[in-house]
Amino acid sequence: MTAKRKIYVTTICFLVIFALAIILGILPLMTEIEKSSENLIFQKRALDLFQQQLMNLEDFQENYSFYQPTLERIEKSFVATEAPVSFIEFLEREAQKAVLEIEIYPLTLALAETDLWKSSGLRVMVAGPFSSCSRFLERLERASYLLEIFQLNIERIEGERSGKKFEGLDIGDVSFNINLKTFSGESPEEKKK
């Protein structure tokens, strides 16, 4: 083997060893550095988010007296699911103001996946002049309670009605059958416990 050939073979061997060193040593190191950089960026963002949440909490604690009346109003807008006495009294009061006959029944509701709070249902039936029933419905919608009217049926009263349901109504009056969903403020998870 000549000297020139030995130099070529040696150079090629060094190049192969150098390429293997890059492939086996430096590329995994670069990949690890890239992963560590991404992890560091993620942790920095998480820390920034945590610091922002901490600042919001401190701001809330400092201004709690300012938020307290609003929070109390929100708390009063929920309806107790086990015994919605105050809400039923509200319904009866509003029906009495509008000079309407009223009947209230519990209604079983399936918990929807989208519900944020535990809910209960009521079927409210009011009867009387259309304008009074409409006024009752408007007051119900504007009430401070958190509720959803998910079904409304309006029926005109014609002729003699069988049974004692809503005695004393005139022909031409209407009955509103309203299905309500009221919210309690408890999360569905609290309900399961």
Cα–Cα distance, 42 to 57 (Å, whole number): 22
Number of Cβ within 10 Å of residue 101's Cβ equals 16
Cα–Cα distance, 98 to 133 (Å, whole number): 7
CB of 151 closer than 8 Å to CB of 178: yes
SS3 178: strand
Say whether pLDDT at 56 is over 70. Answer: yes
Mean pLDDT of the chain: 83
Q: Of the given ranges (8-17, 67-76, 128-137, 162-171), which has the lowest mean pLDDT?
A: 162-171
pLDDT attached to residue 163: 45
Out of 1-5, 74-78, 81-85, the most confident range is: 1-5
pLDDT band for 166, please (50, 70, 90 cuts).
Answer: low
pLDDT attached to residue 135: 92
DSSP 92: H
Helical axes 64-76 vs 27-62, angle rounded to 10°: 80
